[in-house]
Homo-oligomer: A and B are copies of this chain.
Amino acid sequence: MKKKVTIQDIARKANVSKSTVSRVLNKTTPVEEKKATAVLAAMKQLNFRPNAFARGLAGGQSMTIGVVTQNIGSPFYDAVTQGVISALSATEYSPIFVDGQWNKEIEATSIRTLLNRQVDGLILIGGNLPANELKKLVESKPLVLVAQRLEGFEKNCLSVDNVEAGLKATQFLLDLGHREIAHIAGIPEHEDAIQRLNGYKTALQNAGIALNPKLLVDGNFSSQSGVLAVESLLARGVSFSAIFAANDEMACGARLALYRRGIRVPEDVSLIGFDNQPASAFMTPPLTTVAQPSREMGSAAAQIILQQIAGEEFQAPSFPVEIVVRESAIRRW
Protein backbone atom coordinates (compact mmCIF):
# COMPACT_ATOMS: atom_id res chain seq x y z
CA MET A 1 0.00 0.00 0.00
CA LYS A 2 1.52 3.25 -1.10
CA LYS A 3 0.88 6.35 0.94
CA LYS A 4 -1.55 8.80 -0.53
CA VAL A 5 -0.33 11.94 -2.20
CA THR A 6 -2.31 15.06 -1.39
CA ILE A 7 -2.46 18.55 -2.79
CA GLN A 8 -0.15 19.50 0.05
CA ASP A 9 2.55 17.27 -1.36
CA ILE A 10 2.27 18.62 -4.81
CA ALA A 11 2.06 22.18 -3.46
CA ARG A 12 5.40 21.70 -1.76
CA LYS A 13 6.90 20.14 -4.85
CA ALA A 14 5.70 23.00 -7.07
CA ASN A 15 6.55 25.73 -4.59
CA VAL A 16 3.05 27.11 -4.38
CA SER A 17 0.24 26.99 -1.86
CA LYS A 18 -2.45 24.39 -1.56
CA SER A 19 -4.97 26.88 -2.86
CA THR A 20 -3.12 27.34 -6.07
CA VAL A 21 -3.05 23.65 -6.59
CA SER A 22 -6.74 23.50 -5.93
CA ARG A 23 -7.20 26.25 -8.45
CA VAL A 24 -5.47 24.55 -11.29
CA LEU A 25 -7.34 21.41 -10.35
CA ASN A 26 -10.72 23.06 -10.62
CA LYS A 27 -9.95 25.83 -13.09
CA THR A 28 -11.89 28.06 -10.76
CA THR A 29 -9.54 31.04 -10.96
CA PRO A 30 -6.83 31.91 -13.45
CA VAL A 31 -3.34 30.92 -12.37
CA GLU A 32 -0.05 32.15 -13.68
CA GLU A 33 0.95 30.00 -16.62
CA LYS A 34 4.30 29.07 -15.20
CA LYS A 35 3.04 27.93 -11.84
CA ALA A 36 0.21 26.07 -13.44
CA THR A 37 2.52 23.96 -15.54
CA ALA A 38 4.74 23.33 -12.53
CA VAL A 39 1.73 22.10 -10.63
CA LEU A 40 0.57 19.91 -13.48
CA ALA A 41 4.03 18.46 -13.76
CA ALA A 42 4.16 17.67 -10.07
CA MET A 43 0.75 16.09 -10.22
CA LYS A 44 1.75 13.85 -13.02
CA GLN A 45 5.05 12.94 -11.48
CA LEU A 46 3.58 12.05 -8.13
CA ASN A 47 0.63 10.36 -9.77
CA PHE A 48 -1.77 12.55 -7.89
CA ARG A 49 -5.34 11.44 -7.41
CA PRO A 50 -7.74 13.93 -5.89
CA ASN A 51 -9.66 12.43 -3.02
CA ALA A 52 -13.29 12.51 -4.00
CA PHE A 53 -14.41 12.35 -0.40
CA ALA A 54 -12.49 15.38 0.66
CA ARG A 55 -13.78 17.27 -2.30
CA GLY A 56 -17.31 16.26 -1.55
CA LEU A 57 -16.99 17.19 2.07
CA ALA A 58 -15.47 20.55 1.39
CA GLY A 59 -17.39 21.51 -1.67
CA GLY A 60 -20.74 20.09 -0.80
CA GLN A 61 -21.01 18.40 -4.18
CA SER A 62 -20.42 14.73 -4.66
CA MET A 63 -20.43 14.75 -8.42
CA THR A 64 -22.42 11.55 -8.41
CA ILE A 65 -25.90 10.76 -9.59
CA GLY A 66 -27.72 7.98 -7.85
CA VAL A 67 -29.61 5.65 -10.13
CA VAL A 68 -32.14 3.19 -8.80
CA THR A 69 -32.89 0.44 -11.25
CA GLN A 70 -35.29 -2.42 -10.90
CA ASN A 71 -33.92 -5.78 -11.60
CA ILE A 72 -30.78 -5.15 -13.58
CA GLY A 73 -31.00 -7.60 -16.44
CA SER A 74 -34.37 -6.56 -17.77
CA PRO A 75 -33.88 -5.32 -21.31
CA PHE A 76 -35.95 -2.17 -21.03
CA TYR A 77 -34.36 -0.99 -17.84
CA ASP A 78 -30.95 -1.96 -19.07
CA ALA A 79 -31.35 0.20 -22.11
CA VAL A 80 -32.40 3.17 -20.04
CA THR A 81 -29.42 2.55 -17.81
CA GLN A 82 -27.17 2.51 -20.82
CA GLY A 83 -28.53 5.85 -21.87
CA VAL A 84 -27.81 7.32 -18.47
CA ILE A 85 -24.31 5.96 -18.46
CA SER A 86 -23.41 7.26 -21.85
CA ALA A 87 -24.90 10.68 -21.29
CA LEU A 88 -23.13 11.02 -17.99
CA SER A 89 -19.83 9.76 -19.25
CA ALA A 90 -19.45 13.01 -21.14
CA THR A 91 -19.71 14.97 -17.92
CA GLU A 92 -17.89 15.21 -14.63
CA TYR A 93 -20.62 13.29 -12.93
CA SER A 94 -20.62 9.59 -12.49
CA PRO A 95 -23.59 7.39 -11.80
CA ILE A 96 -23.84 5.04 -8.89
CA PHE A 97 -26.37 2.27 -9.23
CA VAL A 98 -28.43 0.39 -6.76
CA ASP A 99 -31.01 -2.24 -7.46
CA GLY A 100 -34.52 -1.87 -6.12
CA GLN A 101 -35.59 -5.33 -7.23
CA TRP A 102 -39.20 -4.18 -7.54
CA ASN A 103 -39.42 -4.34 -3.80
CA LYS A 104 -40.73 -1.36 -1.89
CA GLU A 105 -38.59 -2.01 1.15
CA ILE A 106 -35.41 -2.63 -0.74
CA GLU A 107 -36.05 0.38 -2.85
CA ALA A 108 -36.44 2.59 0.19
CA THR A 109 -33.23 1.44 1.84
CA SER A 110 -31.38 1.67 -1.45
CA ILE A 111 -32.42 5.26 -1.77
CA ARG A 112 -31.31 5.85 1.76
CA THR A 113 -27.78 4.62 1.09
CA LEU A 114 -27.70 6.76 -2.01
CA LEU A 115 -28.71 9.77 0.04
CA ASN A 116 -26.08 8.93 2.64
CA ARG A 117 -23.58 9.01 -0.13
CA GLN A 118 -24.61 12.53 -0.86
CA VAL A 119 -25.62 12.00 -4.42
CA ASP A 120 -26.33 15.26 -6.15
CA GLY A 121 -29.37 13.91 -7.91
CA LEU A 122 -31.54 10.85 -8.13
CA ILE A 123 -32.90 8.96 -11.09
CA LEU A 124 -35.53 6.34 -10.38
CA ILE A 125 -36.10 3.92 -13.19
CA GLY A 126 -39.36 2.18 -12.59
CA GLY A 127 -40.11 1.41 -8.98
CA ASN A 128 -43.22 1.56 -6.86
CA LEU A 129 -42.66 3.91 -4.00
CA PRO A 130 -45.85 5.59 -2.76
CA ALA A 131 -46.51 9.04 -4.12
CA ASN A 132 -46.07 10.83 -0.81
CA GLU A 133 -42.57 9.40 -0.39
CA LEU A 134 -41.71 10.50 -3.87
CA LYS A 135 -42.98 13.97 -3.18
CA LYS A 136 -40.77 14.25 -0.14
CA LEU A 137 -37.85 13.25 -2.31
CA VAL A 138 -38.56 15.55 -5.18
CA GLU A 139 -38.71 18.46 -2.80
CA SER A 140 -35.33 17.82 -1.31
CA LYS A 141 -33.21 16.66 -4.22
CA PRO A 142 -33.09 16.91 -7.98
CA LEU A 143 -35.09 13.92 -9.11
CA VAL A 144 -36.16 12.28 -12.33
CA LEU A 145 -38.65 9.47 -12.62
CA VAL A 146 -38.42 7.21 -15.63
CA ALA A 147 -41.42 5.12 -16.61
CA GLN A 148 -43.35 6.42 -13.66
CA ARG A 149 -45.86 9.22 -13.15
CA LEU A 150 -46.14 11.57 -10.23
CA GLU A 151 -49.12 13.84 -9.97
CA GLY A 152 -48.07 17.46 -10.03
CA PHE A 153 -44.50 16.76 -11.06
CA GLU A 154 -44.96 15.88 -14.67
CA LYS A 155 -41.86 17.74 -15.63
CA ASN A 156 -39.81 15.32 -13.56
CA CYS A 157 -41.34 12.30 -15.26
CA LEU A 158 -40.12 10.60 -18.37
CA SER A 159 -42.27 8.10 -20.14
CA VAL A 160 -44.11 7.27 -23.27
CA ASP A 161 -47.85 7.44 -23.64
CA ASN A 162 -48.67 3.83 -22.92
CA VAL A 163 -52.33 4.20 -23.78
CA GLU A 164 -51.48 5.42 -27.20
CA ALA A 165 -48.86 2.72 -27.55
CA GLY A 166 -51.33 0.01 -26.67
CA LEU A 167 -53.80 1.52 -29.06
CA LYS A 168 -51.30 1.60 -31.86
CA ALA A 169 -50.29 -2.01 -31.38
CA THR A 170 -53.88 -3.17 -31.41
CA GLN A 171 -54.73 -0.95 -34.35
CA PHE A 172 -51.85 -2.48 -36.24
CA LEU A 173 -53.38 -5.91 -35.84
CA LEU A 174 -56.82 -4.62 -36.74
CA ASP A 175 -55.44 -3.11 -39.90
CA LEU A 176 -54.07 -6.49 -40.80
CA GLY A 177 -57.63 -7.76 -40.68
CA HIS A 178 -57.65 -9.43 -37.29
CA ARG A 179 -60.88 -9.37 -35.31
CA GLU A 180 -60.15 -11.82 -32.53
CA ILE A 181 -57.20 -10.31 -30.77
CA ALA A 182 -56.05 -11.60 -27.41
CA HIS A 183 -54.15 -9.46 -24.96
CA ILE A 184 -51.66 -10.70 -22.41
CA ALA A 185 -51.52 -7.96 -19.83
CA GLY A 186 -48.74 -7.06 -17.42
CA ILE A 187 -48.88 -6.84 -13.65
CA PRO A 188 -52.39 -5.59 -12.87
CA GLU A 189 -51.14 -2.96 -10.41
CA HIS A 190 -48.52 -1.70 -12.80
CA GLU A 191 -49.43 1.66 -14.31
CA ASP A 192 -47.84 0.82 -17.66
CA ALA A 193 -49.72 -2.44 -17.85
CA ILE A 194 -53.00 -0.75 -17.12
CA GLN A 195 -52.48 1.88 -19.75
CA ARG A 196 -51.47 -0.56 -22.44
CA LEU A 197 -54.57 -2.54 -21.66
CA ASN A 198 -56.64 0.62 -21.92
CA GLY A 199 -55.13 1.32 -25.28
CA TYR A 200 -56.12 -2.16 -26.38
CA LYS A 201 -59.69 -1.64 -25.23
CA THR A 202 -59.93 1.75 -26.86
CA ALA A 203 -58.71 0.45 -30.19
CA LEU A 204 -61.29 -2.33 -30.14
CA GLN A 205 -63.99 0.10 -29.25
CA ASN A 206 -63.00 2.45 -32.03
CA ALA A 207 -63.26 -0.44 -34.42
CA GLY A 208 -66.69 -1.30 -33.15
CA ILE A 209 -65.62 -4.65 -31.78
CA ALA A 210 -67.05 -5.77 -28.47
CA LEU A 211 -64.50 -6.64 -25.83
CA ASN A 212 -64.37 -10.38 -25.21
CA PRO A 213 -63.17 -10.99 -21.65
CA LYS A 214 -62.08 -14.46 -22.60
CA LEU A 215 -59.44 -12.91 -24.80
CA LEU A 216 -57.89 -11.11 -21.84
CA VAL A 217 -55.23 -12.83 -19.74
CA ASP A 218 -53.18 -11.47 -16.88
CA GLY A 219 -49.45 -11.91 -16.95
CA ASN A 220 -46.67 -10.46 -14.85
CA PHE A 221 -44.18 -9.36 -17.49
CA SER A 222 -42.11 -12.56 -17.20
CA SER A 223 -41.53 -15.03 -20.02
CA GLN A 224 -43.00 -17.74 -17.90
CA SER A 225 -46.24 -15.86 -17.53
CA GLY A 226 -46.44 -15.61 -21.31
CA VAL A 227 -46.37 -19.37 -21.54
CA LEU A 228 -49.11 -19.73 -18.98
CA ALA A 229 -51.20 -17.06 -20.62
CA VAL A 230 -51.31 -18.89 -23.92
CA GLU A 231 -52.11 -22.14 -22.22
CA SER A 232 -54.90 -20.47 -20.35
CA LEU A 233 -56.20 -18.98 -23.58
CA LEU A 234 -56.17 -22.37 -25.24
CA ALA A 235 -57.85 -23.98 -22.27
CA ARG A 236 -60.67 -21.48 -22.48
CA GLY A 237 -61.38 -22.59 -25.98
CA VAL A 238 -61.66 -19.10 -27.43
CA SER A 239 -60.54 -18.68 -30.96
CA PHE A 240 -58.05 -15.93 -31.72
CA SER A 241 -55.91 -15.01 -34.67
CA ALA A 242 -53.56 -12.58 -32.97
CA ILE A 243 -51.97 -11.82 -29.62
CA PHE A 244 -50.78 -8.53 -28.27
CA ALA A 245 -48.48 -9.07 -25.30
CA ALA A 246 -47.71 -6.18 -22.97
CA ASN A 247 -43.98 -6.83 -23.23
CA ASP A 248 -41.53 -8.80 -25.32
CA GLU A 249 -40.65 -11.25 -22.62
CA MET A 250 -44.22 -12.42 -22.36
CA ALA A 251 -44.46 -12.47 -26.13
CA CYS A 252 -41.44 -14.71 -26.09
CA GLY A 253 -43.07 -17.05 -23.61
CA ALA A 254 -46.27 -16.99 -25.64
CA ARG A 255 -44.36 -17.89 -28.74
CA LEU A 256 -42.86 -20.87 -27.02
CA ALA A 257 -46.24 -22.08 -25.82
CA LEU A 258 -47.64 -21.79 -29.33
CA TYR A 259 -44.69 -23.70 -30.69
CA ARG A 260 -45.27 -26.50 -28.24
CA ARG A 261 -48.87 -26.77 -29.37
CA GLY A 262 -47.85 -26.79 -32.99
CA ILE A 263 -49.47 -23.43 -33.67
CA ARG A 264 -47.48 -21.55 -36.26
CA VAL A 265 -46.47 -17.89 -36.12
CA PRO A 266 -47.47 -15.97 -38.14
CA GLU A 267 -49.40 -18.47 -40.27
CA ASP A 268 -51.90 -19.41 -37.58
CA VAL A 269 -51.58 -16.51 -35.21
CA SER A 270 -49.86 -13.16 -35.33
CA LEU A 271 -47.85 -11.98 -32.37
CA ILE A 272 -46.85 -8.53 -31.28
CA GLY A 273 -44.84 -7.55 -28.23
CA PHE A 274 -43.71 -4.42 -26.51
CA ASP A 275 -40.27 -2.90 -25.76
CA ASN A 276 -38.27 -4.03 -28.75
CA GLN A 277 -35.72 -5.76 -26.63
CA PRO A 278 -32.58 -6.82 -28.49
CA ALA A 279 -33.39 -10.50 -28.56
CA SER A 280 -36.71 -9.86 -30.28
CA ALA A 281 -35.08 -9.27 -33.62
CA PHE A 282 -33.60 -12.73 -33.36
CA MET A 283 -36.59 -14.74 -32.39
CA THR A 284 -37.96 -17.21 -34.87
CA PRO A 285 -39.77 -15.62 -36.47
CA PRO A 286 -38.51 -12.14 -35.54
CA LEU A 287 -40.97 -10.40 -33.28
CA THR A 288 -43.06 -7.42 -34.27
CA THR A 289 -43.03 -5.07 -31.33
CA VAL A 290 -43.60 -1.57 -30.05
CA ALA A 291 -40.37 0.32 -29.56
CA GLN A 292 -39.85 2.78 -26.76
CA PRO A 293 -36.82 5.00 -27.21
CA SER A 294 -35.34 3.66 -23.98
CA ARG A 295 -31.77 4.76 -24.50
CA GLU A 296 -32.93 8.23 -25.38
CA MET A 297 -35.04 8.28 -22.27
CA GLY A 298 -32.00 7.38 -20.23
CA SER A 299 -29.87 10.16 -21.62
CA ALA A 300 -32.74 12.60 -21.32
CA ALA A 301 -33.01 11.64 -17.67
CA ALA A 302 -29.34 12.40 -17.19
CA GLN A 303 -29.68 15.73 -18.93
CA ILE A 304 -32.66 16.80 -16.92
CA ILE A 305 -30.98 15.90 -13.67
CA LEU A 306 -28.01 17.98 -14.65
CA GLN A 307 -30.24 20.90 -15.49
CA GLN A 308 -31.93 20.64 -12.13
CA ILE A 309 -28.61 20.55 -10.37
CA ALA A 310 -27.51 23.59 -12.29
CA GLY A 311 -30.71 25.29 -11.24
CA GLU A 312 -31.81 25.70 -14.81
CA GLU A 313 -35.29 25.44 -16.17
CA PHE A 314 -36.19 21.95 -17.23
CA GLN A 315 -39.04 20.08 -18.75
CA ALA A 316 -39.29 16.39 -19.46
CA PRO A 317 -39.93 15.86 -23.16
CA SER A 318 -42.49 13.33 -24.26
CA PHE A 319 -41.31 10.32 -26.16
CA PRO A 320 -42.96 8.74 -29.18
CA VAL A 321 -43.38 5.03 -29.67
CA GLU A 322 -43.09 3.27 -32.94
CA ILE A 323 -44.07 -0.10 -34.27
CA VAL A 324 -41.22 -2.26 -35.45
CA VAL A 325 -42.70 -4.58 -38.01
CA ARG A 326 -41.15 -8.02 -38.25
CA GLU A 327 -42.30 -11.39 -39.46
CA SER A 328 -44.29 -12.45 -36.44
CA ALA A 329 -47.13 -10.18 -37.56
CA ILE A 330 -47.15 -9.47 -41.27
CA ARG A 331 -49.77 -11.82 -42.56
CA ARG A 332 -53.07 -10.26 -43.54
CA TRP A 333 -55.94 -12.08 -42.01
A residues sitting closer than 8 Å to B (CB atoms) are 1-2, 49-54, 56-57, 62, 64, 72-73, 75, 78-79, 81-82, 85, 89, 94-99, 106, 112-113, 115-118, 140, 223, 252-253, 255-256, 259, 278-279, 281-286
A72→B62 contact, CB < 8 A: no
Q: In the complex, are the beta carbons of B85 and A78 less than 8 A apart?
A: no
The residues of B that contact A57 with a CB separation of less than 8 Å are: 51, 53-54, 57
> A72-B72, A73-B79, A116-B49 given as contacts; is B284 within 8 A of A256 (CB)?
yes
- Residue of B50, B73, B255 near A75 (CB, 8 A) is B73
Contact (Cβ within 8 A) A223 B278: yes
Residues of chain B lying within 8 A (CB to CB) of residue A116:
49-52
For residue A255, give the distance in angstroms from its CB to the closest CB of chain B. Answer: 6
Distance in angstroms between the alpha carbons of A116 and B49 in the assembled complex:
6
Contact across chains for A52 and B286 when beta carbons are under 8 A apart: no
Q: Determine how close the nearest CB of chain B comes to the CB of A2; give it in whole angstroms.
A: 6
Tell me the nearest residue of chain B to A285, going by C-beta: B259
Closest B-chain residue to A115, C-beta based?
A: B49
Contact B284 A284 (CB under 8 A): yes
Residue pairs across A and B with Cβ atoms less than 8 A apart, 14 shown, are A52-B116, A52-B118, A53-B56, A53-B57, A53-B62, A53-B117, A72-B82, A73-B278, A94-B117, A96-B97, A223-B278, A252-B282, A256-B284, A283-B283
Chain multiplicity (copies):
2
A283 to B116, CA, bound (A): 43
Do A85 and B62 have beta carbons less than 8 Å apart? no
The one of B50, B72, B282, B283 in contact with A85, judged by C-beta atoms closer than 8 angstroms, is B72
A71: nearest residue on chain B (CB-CB)?
A: B82
Among B2, B54, B95, the residue within 8 A (CB) of A140 is B2
Bound CA–CA A112/B140 (angstroms) = 31
A285 to chain B, nearest CB (A): 7
A41 to chain B, nearest CB (A): 19
Tell me which residues across on chain B come within 8 A of A49, comparing CB atoms.
Answer: 112, 115-116
Question: Nearest chain B CB to A289's CB is how many angstroms away?
Answer: 14
CB distance from A67 to the nearest CB of B (A): 9
User: Distance in Å from the Cβ of A261 to the closest Cβ of chain B?
Assistant: 12
A57 CA / B58 CA spacing, docked (Å): 11
Q: Contacts of A85 on B, CB cut-off 8 Å?
A: 72, 99
Give the docked Cα–Cα distance between A308 and B117 (Å). Answer: 23
Cα(A256)–Cα(B81), bound, Å: 28
Please report the C-alpha to C-alpha distance between residue A285 and residue B262 in the assembled complex, in whole angstroms. 11
The answer to whether B252 touches A279, judged by C-beta atoms less than 8 angstroms apart, is: yes
List of 8 A-B pairs having minimum Cβ-Cβ separation, nearest first: A53-B56, A73-B78, A252-B282, A259-B284, A96-B96, A52-B117, A53-B57, A279-B279
Q: What is the CA–CA distance of A10 and B33 in the complex, to the nearest angstrom?
A: 47
